[in-house]
Structure 1
Amino acid sequence: MAAWILKKRPMAESNKLLVGLFPAREVQAEIEAHRKNWWWPRGCSFPPGDRLHLTLQYLPDQQGNAEQRLRAALSEVSMQPLQLTLDRSCTWSNDASVVQPSEHEDLRRLQYDISRALVRAGFSLDVHVRGWTPHVTIARDAERAARPTSLKPIRWTATEFRLVRSHFTYPFRHEPLGSYPLH
């Protein structure tokens, strides 16, 4: 497997807010084991295990009262824990390699409910409900990556979603802002 390479990327904004599902360490380890079975061309970059996530919503950074309103909107979202199965992997035309869950109605409902709560609270969203493709990015700049013929299904019980601030700095980092249990 190619070594971890973090590239400097020019970004128009320094921060964005991400609402997502972050897998537990055991699931991270299974995703990373699958990633090791790929053939990676030079120049790929790989997110560290603790940054692996499935994006539910992405929006411009908020501060002060707006951030508090955002947190209040997210706390209104209610859903049972999700039993997900990651069972497909591929490289997309944007050169991102991903693992994807099998179709899951409750996952789509969670994404819809989060989006609806944020819109009701007056926020503009970067991820639209239509066209949303649930995935976990395992590599970037992965043109010509060769994946194994199959992915041993990875079981993932999602018990919370999180709000994090993504700092598009060098090095890139996630700042945890809140956790919202699924119960």
Structure 2
Amino acid sequence: MASSRHGPAFLYVLRMSGAEDLLKVGLTADPVARWSGFHRRWFEAFDLERTLLVETETRGDAQRLETALHRTLKAYGCPVPLTMRAFAGGATEWYRGASAAAREFVVRCEADGFTVHMDARPHVAGRLGAQRHVVASVLDQAVRNDRDGVLTPEEIEAVRDLADAHRAFGFDLSDMLPADALAILRLHG
């Protein structure tokens, strides 16, 4: 994919899971990589069926849209939820009760000719499917590290989160590693 400074980008309206209407607005070249920075279980923490994506041809286009949306939603600003990783940034880009206004903005983007995803799950599933070779490599390396006695509990947790993210989108991992390797990583079932 193009670097983060040039090439295609996305404006995203990331909806938190749960009853409260909480949104994170931002831009990125890679939504999956960005969202996983906010929460280790991003695929559960966010309601991806109600998350909106606007594809742009350039990062500059995404920045212009992001700035306009932030201005539109200014009155809805709220603090970062405590469950989010503080180091991920974007502390001023959270909004409460703004879903309808954000959705109207995105609909206008579509009318202006941008490609819009009103449900981010299919896009994310496609990205994850394209990264299966990376997952297979990570799983294989984790098994080798375990056999060498250097796999830490934190690494096991990260590998399980990665595997669970793929499972959440319907990807079967059993064809990537033998059953004993999946058991070593506690990824069976």
Higher relative contact order (CA 8 A, sep 6+): 1
Larger radius of gyration: 2
TM-score of the superposition, structure 2-length normalised? 0.29
Write 1 or 2 for the structure with the bigger share of strand: 1
TM-score of the superposition, structure 1-length normalised? 0.29
